Copies of this chain bind each other. A is one copy, B any other.
Amino acid sequence: MSYVRNAWYVAGWSHELAKEIPLALSILGERIVVWRSASGTLNALEDRCIHRLAPLSLGRCEGEGLRCMYHGLLFNREGRVVEIPGQESIPPKAHVRRYPVVDRHSWTWIWMGDEDKADENLIPSAVGLDHPDYILGHGHLDYAAEARLINDNLLDFSHLTFVHANSFGAGPQFAETQARITPLDRGIRYERWIENTLGSSSRKSDVPMDSFMTYDFLIPGILLMTGGVFPLGTASAFEHGPPDLSKAVSGVTFTSQAVTPMRDKNARYFFSWGPRYDQGDADVRDRLMGIAAQAFAEDKEMIEAQQRVIDDTADAQIMPTTHDRGVTLFNRLVDKLARQEEGISKQAA
């Protein structure tokens, strides 16, 4: 499966990266060490000493640099060796790859493509934990499955009816009717009204209401979802288009989710969720996180089992259904961008 390289991938929660404690991680199969210096600068290098390939993530932070603790080579934050113990001269080739890295919206993002194309404007507008409008819980989950299978899951919410009947209390509508899917420059937009409903487990209501949800799913695998509950008739009044969320009666929440391909067939799934300040408190947030924990475990069981079947299937073929429009649009976009990148790098070579 192909992935886009010229994109910002979520490496972790910013607050979990303490100063001067190097973190080893893999993105798109590449070993990366990320660290925050004593002065607070954020750095990411290829996690592989050029001397004998020891991981720099076992190293020691020194000033803005990182020292390999096998034989003591010191790397600056650009990835260049600036000291070889016992040796005067440093060969020009003595450097490792540096990755653009930035903290934004409570996540640490790493750019995996050409360094000169790294554009912070391409960072999706996730809602950070410190956002003034939301009370958010957060977490992450590791998958023994390819990131693209998790993307596929998030791009087709008809699975809610079956996988999440208990956790989210999703009704049959998710599978029976189509959502509105709109292509975006770097993703797709999903919009769905459920009319005349008593809600799901995260949005219960005593009287029938119209419930709206929408999310953008963006390169490389970022889901940003909100929605709310409105008086009966609102869906029609808006011609089943997006309503004014500030008019929602209840149920306005936000969830940011990120799927990061790690190595081999493993991925890390980051998520936050919680109510808008005027629509819930820490108790509501905790209840939502409880629902999420159950639902995400349901996804994980299904997707990891799916991965095992795929691994076992020679010449695996899928048979898309009408619900796969979002999946297909997004994956075509990924494949197109990946091909473009490949073409450009071939031209350059």
A319: CB under 8 A from chain B?
yes
Q: Which 3 A-B pairs have the closest CB atoms?
A: A85-B175, A54-B306, A69-B162
Assembly CA distance A163 to B67 (angstroms) = 12
A162 pairs with B72, CB closer than 8 A: yes
Tell whether A121 is near chain B: CB-to-CB under 8 Å.
no
> Which of A53, A175, A178, A308 has the most B CB atoms < 10 Å from its CB?
A53
Looking across the interface, which residue of chain B has its beta carbon closest to that of A327? B52
Report Cα–Cα, A184/B91, bound state, in Å.
30
Knowing A162-B70, A302-B54 touch, does A177 contact B309 (C-beta < 8 A)? no
Tell me whether A161 and B85 are in contact in the complex, defined as CB-CB below 8 angstroms, given that A53-B306, A54-B305, A54-B306 are known contacts: yes
Q: How far is the CA of A152 from the CA of B53 in the complex (A)?
A: 12
A318 interfacial contact with B, CB 8 Å: yes
Partner pick for A319 among B67, B94, B323, CB 8 A cutoff:
B94
Whether A58 contacts B305 by the Cβ 8 Å rule is yes
User: Could you tell me the distance in whole angstroms from the C-beta of A66 to the nearest C-beta in chain B?
Assistant: 13
Does any Cβ of B come within 8 Å of A345's Cβ?
A: no
Complex-state Cα separation, A15 to B68, whole angstroms: 40
Name the distance in Å between A345's Cβ and chain B's nearest Cβ.
16
- Residues of chain A in range 49-83 having any CB-CB distance to chain B below 8 Å: 50-55, 58, 67-73
A71 engages B175 (CB within 8 Å): yes
Contacts of A31 in B (CB 8 A): 309, 312
Interface presence of A246 (CB below 8 A): no
